[in-house]
Amino acid sequence: MTLRFHSVNRLIGLAGERPLDGLGVKVREVGPVSAIDPDLMIRAYRAGYFPMAESASDPRVTWYRPRLRGVIDLGCYRVPRRLRRAARKMSVRVGVDEAFNDLVRACAQGGRGRELTWINATLATTYSTLHRRGIAHSVEVYQGQKLVGGFFGLAIGALFCGESMVSRVKNASKVALAAAMPVLADAGFALIDIQFPNVHLEQFGAQVVDGEAYVEVIRALVDRRCQFPKLISEGL
């Protein structure tokens, strides 16, 4: 099936939400010291859903499946030239799964230009469990020994479900994404789910697709065998 793409700028304000259905569970509030069943998480992502809290301090979790979905097709991504130039001047190192929990905490705390986040304690605990199971992964950017940014998400077949990005220095998360995309593509990954349409990621080739078409397409991706890369070159 071919995805029907739209302009991010034209449709950025039109994404709607629908509650979790068709998975044999009900929407429920989860306490801040609890975790979501990791098997439920995987089933939900395979069906096109993802969880979010209203804020890091809100103990409730809501499931979403947007009517319009933001994605990066790894067959036609791009890296802006100005980012390539900036990356060469940053003197950074890109790592994989070296500090997963630290990166999730950094994302939950926010970064440059973003004070409020949606990762509460329940979600952080669940992501940590999925990381130990080899499903959740992080790509980190370091200056010396200091973690300055990156992103994390879930690898399900040939689909990478991006969860959150953070930058403690300018362009750090963008460098992580730019360095990861060609390596993910070489490893057989076909699509990065960025959940909601995102104008900031349009420079990397992010596009908007119909939510129902997204669900149909990922059915062909989630059962493929792909190994998340253990090493990513920071060279752009």
* Domains of the chain by start residue, with CATH: 1-236 (3.40.630.70)
Distance of CA 125 to the CA centre of its chain: 17
Q: Which of 193, 196, 198, 199 is nearest to 217 (CA)?
A: 193
Model confidence at 2: pLDDT above 70: no
Specify the pLDDT at position 193. 98
CB 119 within 8 A of CB 135: no
Burial letters 218-228, b for 16+ CB under 10 A, else e:
beebeeeebeb
Q: List the beta strands (DSSP E) in 49-128.
A: 50-52, 62-64, 68-73, 93-96
Of the listed ranges 5-9, 158-162, 218-222, the one predicted with least confidence: 5-9
Mean pLDDT of the region 97-101: 98
Where are the extended beta strands (E) located within the chain? 5-6, 50-52, 62-64, 68-73, 93-96, 136-143, 146-156, 159-167, 191-195, 207-210
Give the confidence band of 18 by pLDDT, cuts at 50, 70, 90. Answer: very low
In the prediction, which pLDDT does 25 show? 35
